Amino acid sequence: MKKKRDKRIKNENERVPAPAVSRKSRKKRVGCWVLAALTLVGAFFAGFGVRWWTLDSEMRALINVKNKIDEEYYWGLSDEEFYGALFDAVNNDLLDKYSAYLTEEDAVASEQEIAGNRSGFGIEFITQTETGEDQILITRVLGNSPAEEAGLRIGERIVGYGKDETSMTMEENSETFLDFLAQQGEGERFCLCVESAGGQRFVETGKAAYVENNVFYRTSTKAYAFTGVQAEKLTERGEPLTVLPEDTAYVRLIRFGGNAVSGMRAAMALFKAQGKKNLILDLRGNGGGYLEDMQEIAGYFCKTTEKEPVVAVADYGKRKEKFTASNVYAQYFSKDSRICVIADEYSASASECLIGCMVDYKTTEYGDICLIENDGVAKTFGKGIMQSTYKLSWLRGDSIRLTTARILWPLSGNCIHDRGVLQSDGTKSVKQSYEGETELESAIKALFSAA
């Protein structure tokens, strides 16, 4: 509720002058102000003294050490170096690997990453062959990136780069390639020479700011991705998955953040409109994200009559908190629908929680999960704990991210921390491969060969 305007104010620019004040009353007023100021100063130092003695003796010792270093140390030590060493010790020696003190810059960067706000070219690649030779083998093309728009594909190798086709540096050293990319400004165009089983081709592309797309939808005849300024436009893009059965759709979910919820909503609407029956959910490389986004998406995969099924339980030690989701399974799937999952060693946290939700509600079985085998091991990451981020100062913007709870599967109470989902649980598995879509196609065949 707004306060009433002072009636002395006629309008925004015209004020009634204040009444005159005698010299005697001025002296009284000055004396009162001085007394008030002295009282405040005294209270400040009294409060400071009380605060000092309420500190731990170790904290008082640390402050004294810092002061003495500032006064006497011959070499000189900046505040940044002193406090940087302390926070490094907190992050590296005291806290678990998922907890950390975050500067304002760190906190902003973390939020931007989960939100999908990126700037650059948009690929991930492997830098060496198994025999140690240099290579730039593309393992992921980020959605809605300049690389995706240029048509780069998983399994292709970058064998040359330059400003145009006539000034190419033909080599596969990743360090010099990264140096070349670093020299390119946003909006500048450059050229790549890429190689695959089909031969070599030149690709013109560039760096740009973009919002990453986290959801891809494919059938045996069509492929869709999200494009546009906010990765919100469902666009026919990419290659169909011809190995899919006609009644089955495929969704790749990169992380639980950015456009994951809206993208999944649009993908499932398309799934329903196309009359598809079965679904393959690909969580490879999905390292988690926001639990709230997982809640929203889990609503599609709770095969239960409950209106608001529990999808996860956070165990804080002294208390437990249940996370529920709206149950919309029956709007998209029938009683005999089949939902399968593909995951790998990088499927972690919220991804594993979603798998647990699907297993507990019998939406999927371990036999309908295919894990990617790497170096003889097929498993998910094994992160069954949750972090919460707390602002330390609204003025400075720094934060601390702390592990605060174990995450339990909704019905069984299972926690997969430091374990993951294993092949011994009864899953299927295929070997890791970076040859185009060999890995994905092998997983789909493994899942449906015994169906």
DSSP 260-296: HHHHHHHHHHHHHHTT--EEEEE-TT---B-HHHHHH
CA dist 398 and 391 (Å) reads: 6
Q: Which two tokens stand for residue 62?
A: 């640390």
Structure tokens at 113: 């990453």
Contact 221, 243 (CB under 8 A): no
- pTM of the predicted protein model: 0.84
Reading the block at residue 45, the tokens are 């130092």
pLDDT tens, residue order, the chain (451 aa) = 333 333 333 332 333 333 334 334 444 444 444 444 544 545 444 554 556 567 788 888 888 888 888 899 988 889 889 989 999 999 999 999 999 999 999 989 988 999 999 999 999 999 998 889 999 999 999 999 999 999 999 999 999 999 999 999 999 999 999 999 999 998 899 999 999 988 999 999 999 999 999 999 999 999 999 999 999 999 999 999 999 999 999 999 999 999 999 999 999 999 999 999 999 999 999 999 999 999 999 999 999 988 899 999 999 999 999 999 999 999 999 999 999 999 999 999 999 999 999 999 999 999 999 999 999 999 999 999 999 999 998 788 899 999 999 999 999 999 999 999 999 999 999 999 988 899 999 999 999 985 5
Q: Is 121 exposed, middle or buried (CB count within 10 Å of its CB: 0-12, 13-18, 19+)?
A: buried
Alpha carbons 249 and 244: distance in angstroms, whole number: 7
User: How far is it, in rounded angstroms, from Cα 354 to Cα 357?
Assistant: 5
Q: How many CB atoms lie within 10 A of CB 408?
A: 22
Instruction: Report d(CA 260, CA 346) in Å as an integer.
Output: 18
For 283, the token pair is 């969580």
Q: Are 355 and 343 in contact (CB under 8 A)?
A: yes
Residue whose token pair is 């593909």: 342
Rounded Cα distance between 384 and 344, Å, is: 15
Residue 207, judged by CB atoms within 10 A of its CB (0-12, 13-18, 19+), counts as buried
Strand partners, 401: 100, 389
Separation CA 290–CA 288 (nearest Å): 7
Does residue 311 contact residue 291 with C-beta atoms inside 8 Å? no
- What tokens does 212 get? 């990453």
* Nearest residue to 118 via CA among 139, 141, 145: 145
Helix then strand count (H, E) for the chain reads 10, 22
Burial letters for 309-333: b for 16+ Cβ neighbours within 10 Å, e otherwise?
bbbbbbbeeeeeeebbbebebeebb
Burial 91-111 (b: 16+ CB within 10 A, else e): beeebeeebbbbeeeebeeee
